[in-house]
């Protein structure tokens, strides 16, 4: 809403943008002649421009089906130029300069990718999987152009789905190592994140938390049904609360995945949430529920069962203050005791790392290489 600086009584306020159930306002930038608004709709961020004087408005036109964008730092109030940031699964991180008057855009700076990278060698697209309750869940994916949808491609399905954190598509140069070997990389925009607005988050927390897990499974089923991959070449990956996701989906559908990569996984939720001496615990009641209340205890409790599990790589850090190293260690011990298969089960504890993994510009890639090698080994790729 807007009002004159001298007349701030409630009768002098005028609505500029009304509430819409399907749109989440994520930010705004005020210029002398323009109002610029960041709006999240259908899981994608749109940049909307409104002239103050004529109320003429339009949205920036982005060229790809799935992408990430937000308004950058614009300290100059009296200007027709705006900086914004853009990336996608095929476009490196780019700082853009946009002329609000002429509607022209140009690249100021783009992330350098060493080697012979050409974005036109890759294709990205957006799919929708139908969840158990009929909800349509977006999937963003990228793969090498010309890939044959014959149902025989290796694929990685990545997910998080907690704390209202949106998993927007972004460019990753390290990911090219898998794409160039024929992998599909997919991001499941599951409930528990805020990808489709506040209600998307509310429908994936506390007593709705299982929607997060079943959404992810529905995304995997959709990739298989649409002949992108098959259960013998589909991998699942997630870290922290995304590691909790890995623990849940491997209990629900261990038959659907060739392998699981779970990084610093939060997998002993009941025990941790019953310990109020841990600084994060009581604040987390709003995310998972308080297991001191029986209905939440029963809902959260999800035990390892005696059955076959896929190959698994589980990583942790000795100095992790958010998910203590003994959570994944106990999980691995329980899995080894209960599982009835001969699939590989690895625990890697980094003795120098915390929750964010290995620090350092180059050392972090060693952990990425380990995760990628685990998946490549499972499908017999040796180089």
Catalytic residue positions, numbered: 240, 320, 355
Asked if 186 contacts 219 with a C-beta cutoff of 8 angstroms, the reply is yes
φ/ψ of residue 79, rounded to 5: -155, 155
- Spatial separation of the C-alpha atoms in residues 132 and 67, rounded to whole Å: 26
| Collapsed DSSP state (helix, strand, coil) of residue 237 | strand
C-beta of residue 308 within 8 angstroms of C-beta of residue 339: yes
Contact by Cβ (8 Å): 237, 268: no
CB burial of 48-58 (b: ≥16 within 10 Å; e: otherwise) equals bbbeeeeeeee
CA–CA separation, 52 vs 33, rounded Å?
6
What is the CB neighbour count within 10 angstroms for residue 314?
Answer: 24
Distances (CA, A) of 98 to 38, 82, 104, 324: 15, 5, 6, 45
CA atoms 137, 143, 146, 148: torsion sign: negative
DSSP string, 161-223: --TT--------STTHHHHTTT-EEEEE--BTB-TT-HHHHHTTSGGGTHHHHHHHHHHHHHH
Beta bridge partners of 288: none
Task: State the pairing for strand pair 67-71/81-88.
Answer: antiparallel
What is the spatial distance between Cα 269 and Cα 224, in angstroms, rounded to a whole number? 31
């Amino acid at each position: 809403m807007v009002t004159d600086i001298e007349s701030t009584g409630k009768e002098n306020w005028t609505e500029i943008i009304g509430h819409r159930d399907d749109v989440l306002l994520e930010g705004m930038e005020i210029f002398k002649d323009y109002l610029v608004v960041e709006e999240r709709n259908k899981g994608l961020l749109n940049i909307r421009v409104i002239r103050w004087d004529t109320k003429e408005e339009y949205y920036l036109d982005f060229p790809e089906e799935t992408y990430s964008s937000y308004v950058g730092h614009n300290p100059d109030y009296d200007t027709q130029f705006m900086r914004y940031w853009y990336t996608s699964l095929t476009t490196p991180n780019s700082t853009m300069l946009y002329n609000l008057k002429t509607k022209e855009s140009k690249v100021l700076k783009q992330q350098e990718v060493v080697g012979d990278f050409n974005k036109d060698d890759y294709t990205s697209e957006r799919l929708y999987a139908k969840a158990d309750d009929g909800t349509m869940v977006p999937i963003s994916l990228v793969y090498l152009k010309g890939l044959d949808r014959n149902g025989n491609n290796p694929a990685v399905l990545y997910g998080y789905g907690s704390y209202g954190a949106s998993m927007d598509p972004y460019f990753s140069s390290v990911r090219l190592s898998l794409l160039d070997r024929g992998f599909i990389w997919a991001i499941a925009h599951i409930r528990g994140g805020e990808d489709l607005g506040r209600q998307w988050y509310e429908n994936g927390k506390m007593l709705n938390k299982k929607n997060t897990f079943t959404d992810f499974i529905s995304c995997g089923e959709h990739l298989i049904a649409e002949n992108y991959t098959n259960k013998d070449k589909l991998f699942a990956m997630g870290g922290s609360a995304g590691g909790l996701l890995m623990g849940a989906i491997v209990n629900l559908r261990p038959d659907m995945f060739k392998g699981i990569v779970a990084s610093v996984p939060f997998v002993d939720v009941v025990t941790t949430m019953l310990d109020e001496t841990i600084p994060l615990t009581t604040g987390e009641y709003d995310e998972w529920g308080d297991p001191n209340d029986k209905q939440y205890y029963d809902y959260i409790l999800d035990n390892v069962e005696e059955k076959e599990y896929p190959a698994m790589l589980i990583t942790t850090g000795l100095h992790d203050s958010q998910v203590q190293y003994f959570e994944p260690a106990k999980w691995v011990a329980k899995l080894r005791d209960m599982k009835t298969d001969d699939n590989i089960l690895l625990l890697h504890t980094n003795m120098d790392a915390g929750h964010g993994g290995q620090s350092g510009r180059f050392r972090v890639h060693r952990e990425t290489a380990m995760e990628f090698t685990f998946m490549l080994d499972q499908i017999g790729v040796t180089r």
